[in-house]
C-alpha cells in the first residue's frame, strides 16, 4: 500500500471515530464522503426579520454546511481533495469565499491531510470569516424570508475581503463548487426555525432530567418540557395528570404542576400523551370553552341538537344552522317576534330580587324583555309573598293564610272554621279545643297565652 493510500485510510478512520453517522458519511466503496457541519453559534444568537413588521427570533442552530469530497490517488502528497460546498442559507458568493479559503488552507498544509483542518475552520470560524453576527438580518418579501443584503437576496459575503486568499476584493463570480441547495425565492425563515426546533429537541432528548413529581431521573425523550417556563416532568406523570383533568372536564387547567406557574400545555403536547378518546373529549371541551367566551355565540336550546349558533349584532332571534330551529336568544323558547318574553314560575320568583338590586341599565333590559307591567306585578307579588311569610301562618287543613293580631293561641280558620294551635299548627278538637293546652302530655301544655300581652290575656278568637 502506498503512503498516500495509508494516509487517506488513517484520515477517514479518524473522522469516522470523531463524528457520528449523521455528521460524517463515507461511501461504501471508493474514497468519497460527505460531512454535515453545523456552525457553532454564539449564545443568544438572533434572526432579525425585516418586512412589514420587524421581529426577532432566537436560534441555537442553523442548517449545516455540506462538504462533499473525493480523494484523488495522489492525495495528500500532490493533489488536494476534490470538493463541493453547499448550504440552504448562505449565498453562492459567500460559499465561493469559503471555497477560496479552503484552497488557501490546502496550500498552507500541502503534503499533509487537510480534511480535519477544513472541518474545524468551517465549524468554528466561518461566521467570523464572512462577517456574519447576531442579529442575522432576514428580509421578508411577499410573505417569504430571505437572508438580506446582497444582490442575490442573501447576506453580504465578506465585508473584510482580505480574509479570502489575500484578495481585498469580494468575490464577484460564483465558484462552480459553491452550491445553493434551495430556490432563492423560497420562504427561508420557516426552514431555519423548523431546523432549530428539531435540533433543540434532539439535544433535549439526549439529556437526563429529574421529574419533580416522581423524583426519578429519565432521559429527555421520556420527558415533557413546558416551553414557557422550561419546567420538565416525565411523560408518565403528565399523562396521568392530563387524563384526570380531562376526565373532570378541566381542560383549561392543563398547566404546569409547579405551584403558581401559569404555563399551559399545547394541544400537540396533550395529543402525544393521552389516548384518542381522551384527546377527542379535550378537543371538544376546549372548543366549547372558546365558544362560551364569545359574546356572539349561543347554543341551540333543543336538547337533541345544542349546536353553536352565530348571532347578528343586536338581534334577539337565533337560527340554528343544524336543525333550523328559530328561537329567542333571551328566553331560549320559540321565537315570538316583538312580543315580550313570558317568564316561567321560577323566573318570576327571582325577577323581583334581580330587578330591585339591578342597575338602571339592568332594569331597562328586564323591562324591555318582559314588559313593565309584568315586572311591576312580579315585584308586588314578591313583596306580598314576603309579607305573608313573615306575618302569617297556613291553616293545617285548607292552607289559608292566617294572621294573628291578638288573643290566645287557639285559632279558628276564617275559611274552613278549623280550630288549630298557633304555636305548633296542630288541629284542635271542635268539642273541647282547649284540652290541647291543658294536657300535660302535649308540647303546648299551659301555653294558651304564650306571647300574649297583659291587655290581651282575656281575649280569645271565640270572643272575637
Mean pLDDT of 145-152: 42
**Which pLDDT score, from 0 to 100, does residue 153 have?**
37
Asked if residue 202 belongs to a domain, the reply is: no
Q: Are residues 381 and 419 in the same domain?
A: no
Confidence of residue 79 (pLDDT cuts 50, 70, 90): very high
Mean pLDDT of 121-144: 78
**Which pLDDT score, from 0 to 100, does residue 315 have?**
80
What would the pLDDT profile of 297-307 be if each residue is shown by its tens digit? 888 888 888 88
Q: Using CA atoms, how far apart are residues 331 and 342, in angstroms rounded to an integer?
A: 8
Asked if residue 98 belongs to a domain, the reply is: yes
Is the Cβ–Cβ distance between 169 and 76 less than 8 Å?
A: no
Asked if residue 317 belongs to a domain, the reply is: yes
Residue 253 DSSP symbol: G
Mean pLDDT of 88-117: 92
**Which pLDDT score, from 0 to 100, does residue 386 have?**
72
Asked if residue 201 belongs to a domain, the reply is: no
Q: In 329-399, where do the E strands start and end?
A: 392-394
Axis-axis angle for helices 360-370, 345-357 (nearest 10): 150
Q: How far is CA 138 from the centre of its chain?
A: 29
Q: Which of 138, 168, 195 is the last residue of a domain?
A: 195
Q: Using CA atoms, how far apart are residues 368 and 330, in angstroms rounded to an integer?
A: 11
Q: Are residues 34 and 156 in the same domain?
A: yes
Asked if residue 79 belongs to a domain, the reply is: yes
Confidence of residue 155 (pLDDT cuts 50, 70, 90): very low
Confidence of residue 223 (pLDDT cuts 50, 70, 90): very high
**Which pLDDT score, from 0 to 100, does residue 454 have?**
52
Q: Using CA atoms, how far apart are residues 75 and 81, in angstroms rounded to an integer?
A: 7
**Which pLDDT score, from 0 to 100, does residue 1 have?**
54
More confident residue, 292 or 154: 292
* Residue 286, SS3 per DSSP: helix
Asked if residue 419 belongs to a domain, the reply is: yes
Confidence of residue 152 (pLDDT cuts 50, 70, 90): very low
**Kind plus residue range of the DSSP H or E element containing 299:** strand 297-299
**Exposed e or buried b per residue across 168-178, where buried means at least 16 C-beta atoms within 10 angstroms of its C-beta:** eebbeebbebb
More confident residue, 160 or 36: 36
Q: Is the pLDDT of residue 136 over 90?
A: no
Is the Cβ–Cβ distance between 325 and 300 less than 8 Å?
A: yes
Asked if residue 228 belongs to a domain, the reply is: yes
Q: Output the domain CATH number for residue 264.
A: 3.30.40.10
Mean pLDDT of 275-279: 88
**Which pLDDT score, from 0 to 100, does residue 115 have?**
94
Q: Is the pLDDT of residue 164 over 50?
A: no
| Mean pLDDT, the chain, integer | 81
Q: How far is CA 161 from the centre of its chain?
A: 49
The answer for residues whose C-beta is within 8 angstroms of residue 108's C-beta and 6 or more apart is none
What would the pLDDT profile of 317-374 be if each residue is shown by its tens digit? 888 988 988 998 878 888 888 776 766 656 666 666 677 777 878 777 777 666 767 6
Residue 169 DSSP symbol: S
Listed as own residue / partner, the contacts of 383-390 with beta carbons closer than 8 Å and 24 or more positions apart are 383/352
Q: Which of 160, 195, 230 is the last residue of a domain?
A: 195
Asked if residue 380 belongs to a domain, the reply is: yes
What would the pLDDT profile of 248-257 be if each residue is shown by its tens digit? 888 877 889 8
Q: Are residues 84 and 233 in the same domain?
A: no
Mean pLDDT of 30-56: 84
Mean pLDDT of 22-36: 86
Confidence of residue 225 (pLDDT cuts 50, 70, 90): very high
Q: Are residues 185 and 145 in the same domain?
A: yes
Which of 43, 94, 44 has its CA nearest to residue 65? Answer: 94
CA distances from 4 to 67, 73, 80, 107, 278 (A): 21, 7, 12, 17, 64
Q: Are residues 269 and 378 in the same domain?
A: no
Question: What's the grid cell of residue 352?
Answer: 323581583
Longest Cα separation, the chain: 141
Confidence of residue 83 (pLDDT cuts 50, 70, 90): very high
Is the Cβ–Cβ distance between 161 and 62 less than 8 Å?
A: no
Q: Where are the alpha helices (DSSP H) in 57-172?
A: 92-108, 115-124, 126-130
Is the Cβ–Cβ distance between 305 and 297 less than 8 Å?
A: no
**Exposed e or buried b per residue across 343-361, where buried means at least 16 C-beta atoms within 10 angstroms of its C-beta:** beeeebeebbeebeeeeee
Q: Are residues 158 and 113 in the same domain?
A: yes
* Residue 109, SS3 per DSSP: coil
**Which pLDDT score, from 0 to 100, does residue 217 have?**
93
More confident residue, 382 or 99: 99
Confidence of residue 143 (pLDDT cuts 50, 70, 90): very low
**Which pLDDT score, from 0 to 100, does residue 453 have?**
63
Q: Are residues 333 and 365 in the same domain?
A: no
Query: 447: number of CA atoms within 13 Å, CB side?
Result: 13
Q: Are residues 166 and 128 in the same domain?
A: yes
Q: Are residues 434 and 322 in the same domain?
A: no
Q: Which of 292, 309, 326 is the last residue of a domain?
A: 292
Backbone angles phi, psi at 372, to 5 degrees: -65, -40
The pLDDT > 90 percentage for the chain reads: 22
pTM (predicted TM-score): 0.54
Q: Using CA atoms, how far apart are residues 34 and 24, in angstroms rounded to an integer?
A: 6
Q: Are residues 112 and 228 in the same domain?
A: no
Q: Are residues 149 and 16 in the same domain?
A: yes
The residues carrying an active-site annotation are 408
Q: Are residues 141 and 275 in the same domain?
A: no
Q: Output the domain CATH number for residue 130.
A: 3.10.110.10
Q: Is the pLDDT of residue 98 over 80?
A: yes
**Which pLDDT score, from 0 to 100, does residue 282 have?**
86
Q: Is the pLDDT of residue 56 over 70?
A: yes
Which structural domain range is residue 408 located in? 395-464
| CB-neighbour burial class of residue 1 (10 A; exposed 0-12, middle 13-18, buried 19+) | exposed
Q: Is the pLDDT of residue 80 over 80?
A: yes
Is the Cβ–Cβ distance between 326 and 318 less than 8 Å?
A: yes
What would the pLDDT profile of 165-192 be if each residue is shown by its tens digit? 334 345 678 889 999 887 666 677 888 8
Number of domains in the chain: 5
Question: What's the grid cell of residue 317?
Answer: 332571534
| Cα 205-211-217 angle, rounded to 5 deg | 65
Amino acid at each position: 500500500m502506498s503512503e498516500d493510500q495509508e494516509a487517506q485510510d488513517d484520515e477517514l478512520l479518524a473522522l469516522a471515530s470523531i463524528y457520528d453517522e449523521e455528521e460524517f458519511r463515507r461511501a461504501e466503496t471508493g474514497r468519497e464522503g460527505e460531512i454535515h457541519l453545523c456552525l457553532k453559534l454564539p449564545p443568544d444568537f438572533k434572526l432579525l426579520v425585516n418586512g412589514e413588521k420587524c421581529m426577532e427570533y432566537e436560534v441555537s442552530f442553523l442548517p449545516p454546511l455540506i462538504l462533499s469530497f473525493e480523494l484523488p490517488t495522489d492525495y495528500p502528497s500532490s493533489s488536494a481533495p476534490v470538493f463541493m460546498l453547499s448550504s440552504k442559507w448562505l449565498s453562492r458568493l459567500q460559499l465561493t469565499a469559503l471555497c477560496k479559503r479552503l484552497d488557501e488552507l490546502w496550500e498552507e498544509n500541502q503534503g499533509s491531510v487537510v480534511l480535519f483542518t477544513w472541518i474545524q475552520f468551517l465549524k468554528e470560524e466561518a461566521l467570523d470569516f464572512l462577517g456574519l453576527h447576531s442579529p442575522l438580518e432576514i428580509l421578508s418579501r411577499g410573505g417569504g424570508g430571505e437572508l438580506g443584503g446582497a444582490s442575490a437576496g442573501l447576506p453580504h459575503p465578506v465585508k473584510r475581503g482580505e480574509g479570502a486568499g489575500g484578495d481585498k476584493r469580494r468575490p464577484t463570480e460564483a465558484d462552480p463548487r459553491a452550491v445553493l441547495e434551495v430556490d432563492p425565492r423560497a420562504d427561508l425563515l420557516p426552514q431555519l426555525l423548523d431546523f432549530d426546533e428539531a435540533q433543540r429537541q434532539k439535544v433535549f432528548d439526549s439529556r437526563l432530567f429529574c421529574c419533580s413529581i416522581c423524583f426519578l431521573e429519565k432521559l429527555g425523550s421520556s420527558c415533557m418540557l413546558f416551553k414557557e417556563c422550561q419546567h420538565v416532568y416525565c411523560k408518565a406523570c403528565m399523562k396521568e395528570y392530563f387524563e384526570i383533568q380531562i376526565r373532570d372536564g378541566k381542560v383549561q387547567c392543563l398547566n404546569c404542576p409547579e405551584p403558581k406557574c401559569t404555563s399551559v400545555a399545547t394541544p400537540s403536547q396533550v395529543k402525544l400523551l393521552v389516548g384518542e378518546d381522551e384527546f377527542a373529549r379535550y378537543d371538544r371541551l376546549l372548543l366549547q370553552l372558546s365558544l362560551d367566551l364569545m359574546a356572539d355565540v349561543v347554543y341551540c336550546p333543543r336538547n337533541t341538537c345544542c349546536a353553536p349558533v352565530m348571532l347578528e349584532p343586536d338581534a334577539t332571534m337565533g337560527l340554528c344552522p343544524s336543525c333550523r330551529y328559530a328561537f329567542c336568544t333571551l328566553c331560549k323558547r320559540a321565537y315570538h317576534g316583538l312580543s315580550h318574553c313570558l317568564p316561567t314560575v321560577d323566573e318570576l320568583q327571582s325577577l323581583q330580587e334581580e330587578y330591585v338590586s339591578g342597575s338602571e341599565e339592568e332594569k331597562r333590559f328586564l323591562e324591555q324583555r318582559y314588559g313593565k307591567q309584568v315586572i311591576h306585578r312580579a315585584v308586588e307579588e314578591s313583596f306580598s309573598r314576603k309579607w305573608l311569610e313573615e306575618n302569617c301562618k297556613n291553616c293545617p287543613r285548607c292552607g289559608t293564610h292566617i294572621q294573628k293580631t291578638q288573643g290566645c293561641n287557639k285559632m279558628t280558620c276564617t275559611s274552613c272554621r278549623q280550630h288549630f294551635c298557633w304555636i305548633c299548627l296542630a288541629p284542635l278538637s271542635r268539642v273541647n279545643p282547649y284540652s290541647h293546652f291543658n294536657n300535660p302530655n302535649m308540647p303546648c301544655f299551659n301555653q294558651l297565652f304564650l306571647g300574649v300581652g297583659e291587655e290581651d290575656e282575656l281575649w280569645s278568637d271565640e270572643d272575637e
